[in-house]
Structure 1
């Protein structure tokens, strides 16, 4: 699904940076956090952090970035997802991801996803 999401987002005006883990995503954000418009993450991620922890870190440290969290199962810890994050259940529709990318691009250019 990650590859599909990256391919889909590459069709937008956003520059796409794919990451293998939340830790890698945080490293990218540390380098260019002010320019990141969208963070799209699955709840289940490789590494020690999950997508909910990543979303909370982004919400705190980079509040201008739009957050989209996805999962194939209903998150048991829904109350831990930041209020401003959008949850899109899998299988998501490409249009739903594109709508969020459009919102991110219009709210915070220049953009990296």
Structure 2
């Protein structure tokens, strides 16, 4: 009999700059968090529709490939998963208001801050997940 793999928290990274996206993904993979990466908001929206409940953190740039920006994506993410942690980052002022509870990080930000936030969200998610498993057992 095979053993089931324990569920892990997932972070969604949405960044059109491949070097920035890779750097963020490497940081998060070191934090015991599964990572899904997208270069456009449209691709990220599809991910959120399919697996949004397991995504605990979404970090997105404002300027992205495609027709939708990161702020618009932040609103969609909150509709798909109201408990998701959302961080929107940019080197410029925001073009519109973020959804309630979303954070804005001005570039440049410290890589350690990304790790801390991911670990905080993953810890909260794992505690919730353990509670759900106990209630259904």
What do you get for the CA RMSD once the two structures are aligned? 1.3
Tell me, yes or no, if structure 1 residue 81 matches structure 2 residue 113: no
Q: Which has the higher strand share?
A: 2
Structure 1: stretches of 5+ with no match in the other structure: none
Q: How many matched pairs?
A: 108
Tell me, yes or no, if structure 1 residue 101 matches structure 2 residue 118: yes
What TM-score results when the alignment is normalised by the length of structure 1? 0.88
Tell me, yes or no, if structure 1 residue 34 matches structure 2 residue 59: no
Which of the pair has the greater relative contact order for Cα pairs under 8 Å at 6+ separation?
Answer: 1
1:53-64 aligned at under 5 Å gives the runs: 53-64=72-83
Q: Give the 4+ runs in structure 1 shifted more than 6 A.
A: none
- 1:76 CA drift (Å): 3.7
**CA–CA distance in structure 1, aligned partners of residues 68 and 124 of structure 2:** 27
